[in-house]
A = this chain, B = another copy of it.
Amino acid sequence: MSLLVMKFGGTSLATIDLIKKAAARVEAEVSHGYNVIVIVSAMSEKTNQLVGWVNDISSMYDAREYDAVVSSGEQVTAGLLALVLQENSIPARSWQGWQVPLKTVGSHSAARISEIPTDNLKSKFSEGMKVAVVAGFQGISSEGRITTLGRGGSDTTAVAFAAAFNAKRCDIYTDVDGVYTTDPRICDKARKLNQISFEEMLEMASLGAKVLQTRSVELAMRFKVKLRVLSSFDEQVTNTGTIVCREEDVMEKNVVAGVAFSRDEAQMTLLGVNDRPGIAAAIFGPLSVSGINVDMIVQNISEDGLTNMTFSCPIDQVARAQKTISKCKDDGELKFSKLLVDTNVAKVSVVGIGMRSHAGVAAQMFNALKVENINIKVISTSEIKISVLIDRKYLELAVHALHDDFQLEKSS
């Protein structure tokens, strides 16, 4: 018996009517002969309400109690969806994380999945159960307490179940109809991709495309789970979403898959840094300890033993980063003449596995930006992406220019 995993997010389960629509999608797959594991999020806004209450009580809350409180939302939607399926004569039941049990390790409210024993569900499937509705985002610790996986944990739960049960596919139902070449709200020529490779999706996700949670894509890549992202609101048969799969299974072979961007970046430059072995560690070690997500790093060549060090980080971490660096200077662990901060920058990236075999993508990108007179402040590259930091005011212009220049509106 083939098995599918289907995941519904909070906006897809926000009301009883929407839960009934989700159930209809599950029933359609059952009628195609599948057993189904459905992973559910809490009703939209419910988790925010619960988190709000916890924060009202304490800013230094016990994460174990936080987990007990916020995990309750998925318990409700799991039970309700199972009830709708039963009402439509589909043998279904709900499972809490601790009932599966989905075992976790690591800290509460950011736990990691360590094991999903399949015996319990498999035995129920063999007794005739067609659908297991599992509360997403949660598990149980070795101490028997409820844990949660952190935001986006329901995507990760879905992929982990798909891996554990060797599912044919893991369908993520959400409020967008797939992965686009870039954000359609910024660029109306953006085209929905029918397929994208794990590696590209990972870069797109971590670069600001919010369709899938990065952790879930990593997990899918590791366990070769075929992921599909599709809309739970579009009822057309052409609503086939975007398949995220192994590179060799991607049929479309554009060199560049998409243009990703991140608006809220800041650029910080340390001038006149005393260049010595270990200087990078002296700067970025303390920043890491302070929880600063340093992204791009550029070190200029050294002159007279002095160099400039530039890095970027999310804009809301600037104050903390400044404080950390000042402290390093005061402690005598770091010498520099001046710290420059620019909070008016944004990051634009082109992503594509085709870059591996096609030279000249970087040159084409830089040229396209030059044509528009957009100055590049920092460059960073990986095997399958090129990112640049530019003035934020040029962000939309840059996205349009790159989308046009790489002809992303056309399928290969």
Report which A residues bind B (CB closer than 8 A): 16, 19-20, 50, 53-54, 56-58, 60-62, 64-66, 68-69, 71-73, 75-76, 78-80, 82-84, 86-87, 93-94, 96, 98-99, 144-146
Q: Is the CB of B98 within 8 A of A80?
A: no
Q: What is the CA–CA distance of A50 and B83 in the complex, to the nearest angstrom?
A: 13
Contact B53 A65 (CB under 8 A): no
Q: Does the CB pair A80–B62 fall under 8 Å? A: no
Cβ of B75 and Cβ of A58 under 8 Å apart?
no
Contacts of A50 in B (CB 8 A): 76
12 extra interface residue pairs, beta carbon distance < 8 Å, beyond A65-B93, A66-B83, A72-B76: A19-B57, A57-B83, A58-B84, A61-B86, A62-B93, A65-B79, A68-B79, A69-B76, A69-B83, A71-B75, A72-B73, A98-B98
By a CB distance below 8 angstroms, the chain B residues around A76 are: 50, 53, 69, 72
A23 nearest in chain B by CB position: B57
Q: How far is the CA of A409 from the CA of B67 in the complex (A)?
A: 51
* Copies in the assembly, this chain: 2
Within 8 Å by CB of A79, from B19, B69, B144, lies: B69
Contact check, A84 vs B57: say whether CB atoms are below 8 A apart.
Answer: yes
Given A62-B82, A99-B144, A72 and B72 contact (CB-CB distance below 8 Å): yes
Cβ B62 vs Cβ A86 within 8 A = yes
| Chain B, Cβ-Cβ closest to A74 | B72
Contacts of A144 in B (CB 8 A): 99
Q: Given contacts A72-B72, A75-B69, is CB(A80)–CB(B53) below 8 Å? A: yes
Which chain B positions have C-beta within 8 A of A98? Answer: 98
> Which chain B residues border A146 with CB–CB below 8 Å?
96
Q: A82 to chain B: closest CB distance in Å?
A: 5
Report the Cα distance A73→B64, complex, angstroms: 17
Report whether A65 and B87 are in contact in the complex, using a CB–CB cutoff of 8 Å: no
Q: Which one, B64, B69, B84, contacts A80 given CB within 8 A?
A: B69
Verify A66–B79 contact, CB threshold 8 A.
yes
A–B complex contacts, Cβ < 8 Å, 23 sampled: A16-B53, A16-B57, A19-B57, A57-B83, A57-B84, A57-B87, A58-B83, A58-B86, A58-B87, A61-B83, A62-B86, A64-B93, A65-B80, A65-B94, A68-B78, A68-B79, A68-B82, A68-B94, A69-B75, A69-B80, A72-B75, A98-B98, A99-B144
